[in-house]
Every structure is written in structure tokens, then in C-alpha cells.
Structure 1
């Protein structure tokens, strides 16, 4: 059950830069993925950052991140993930529920994904903070109201990118911060492993997006 806590807090699939104090401290490294944590101002829950190099083009990875329903298959402990509204090819809103073991209540949230690319450096950011509204608060679910994080995708060549993901979240409800912090490294490792497997699927392998320059 402790592992489940850690997975949940890292992988809510939201994304805006995690602001905090102190320096990033490496807490684990496995299968090419490094996971860091650091103290955050006015919060007992530490920010988390994970990074790795992927055998993927930028378009492949962004296509996977924008494929909302598929998050149920690779974002660990995601019970459901539903598209709410498409604003443009590079911006959308989605709703997701994250499962927690009994007797804890499941969490849910609405997030906005927005993709931008620097025309000079070609670095891509995928920003998806939790947002209010869009879906009514549901009985027996704790609504996540604050989550900030950011995917930073740096193309290395046509077939490789460096991926960095940072997150700081307030899960709401009653959950011990010491437990979240103690096991926070396990979630990123599980989901990054599943992400790598999904990127090999034909639907992503040859992906091309009009708003992304690989």
C-alpha cells in the first residue's frame, strides 16, 4: 500500500514548473531514469523531478502525452482519463480519477494540457496544471485543486530526446506527508518504464505533429 501512495503523488499526469526551495537531491536511479526531490516552501510534501533519455522523436512523445485515454494504460494507478474539450491541436482539457487502496478515497482532477516549442532551441514544454470547474465535484472523491509541474522535452537528434518532468502537488484530504515523501521515488520508475513500452507502438512510432519540429 505504501508503494501505491508514492505512485499516486508523482503521477497525477499534471504539468507547470514545480516551484520550491532548496536543491534537487538524487533519491534513486534505475533503468536509465533518475528521480530527485527537494523541499517546497509552505508545503510538507516535497517536489519530485524525474529525467531520462528516450528512444523517441519529440512528436512521438508529445503524441503519447496528448493521447488522453491511453493514460489509463501507462500512468500508474490512473483509473480513468477522459477528454473534456479540445481547444486546438496543441491544447486540451481532460478529467482523470486516480485510484487509492481502501479505506482511502480516490482523487480526481481536471487539467489543461498546452504544448509549446521554442523556435530557436526546439525545446518543448508540456504544461498542464490542475484547473477548477469543467467537471462537477463528485461524491466520495477528493478533488485535487493544486498541482504544478512541467514536462521539458529536449530533442537530441531525430530519434532521441531528453525528458525532464517536475511536479509539486497538494493531494487534499488526509494523507501523511512523511509517507508520501518516503516512497515518492517508486511512482516515476513504474510509469517511465510503461511510457517507454508505449512509445514503441505503431500509432506513435511514426507520429508527426504540425506544431512540433523534431
Structure 2
């Protein structure tokens, strides 16, 4: 299952989790006087189930894909013949790029040696295995989360509070990421500006008549 297909599957599971959580809220309240005995509206129970289905699975999905390429590349390089592995870093990087292009179906410059073809096949096989393992892990995690939340849904469960807390944490995380991104951009520009003005004095840059 490709990452795109996996995301679509997770989206469907999240929607299903919302329906299951909401339905379970109605079910547990039906014998105790109806939805009015619930601490929160049934929609919040559905939202809580959907969040627990989606958020942990998305975290695993993101971290897996973030490190997948580098891990597979390291394993693939370790399996290359010694005469290729001992090449200078720049030449080895070119070969790795050729292997990735070969896996992606792009045009590769020069003749493809049997070792490069074998490495590309190995890379493709590991990538397929990685995607399959990720699919199983994400889907299993989402299903377990749905079943776990469904089991604890009760009239006393403060679903609204939990949902609001999760949303608050997500908003804080997003704002923190935005702040650090802005700081990184400012520091990067400042660093390059300092390097520039170490070469060209600021007085000459502002008042000089030659460029």
C-alpha cells in the first residue's frame, strides 16, 4: 500500500471511528435515560474516537517516512560491492542517485552495471517491505485505538474536555513549530548577512559608488 493509499485508508478509519464512537455513546446512554445523561454531546465521543484513531497513527506515519529513505539507503550502500562502497563520497552519491533514479523509473546516465541493477532491485524490495510494514502498523494502531476508546466510553467520560485538550495541544504544537521556523529563517538570513558584510563593509555597500 502506497503512502497515499494508506492516508486515504486512515481517513476512512477515522471517519469510521467517529461513527463508532458516536454510536457507542448513544448505546451506553440508551438504558440510562438517553443522551441527556452523557457528560458531553455524542458528537464529542465520536470526535474523541476519531482523534485517537488518527493522531497516533499519523505520528507513526510521519516519523516512519521521515527516516525511511535514509535507513533504506544506508542498508543498500552496505550491501554494495566493496569497490563501490570505498569510492569517494561524491562519486558514491552519484551512484546512489543513479540507483534511486533507476528505482523511480527515471533516465539514468551511462551504462547500468549488474551491481547497480542489483542494488536498485534491493532498494525497491526494501521500500516495498517498508511500505507494507508501515501499512500494517498504522492500520493496526488505528483499529486498536478505536476499539480501546469504544470500550471506555461511558456517560461519565468527559469526552468534550479530552477533545478540547487534544485540540489545544495540537494548536500549541503548531504555533511552537511556526515560531521556531521563523526563528530559524531569521537566524539563517542574519548568518548570511554577517558573512556578506565581512567581505563587503556595510559603509561601502550603502555608500559605495562601484558595484
TM-score by length of 2: 0.24
Greater helix proportion: 2
Greater strand proportion: 1
Which is higher, the Rg of structure 1 or of structure 2? 2
TM-score by length of 1: 0.24
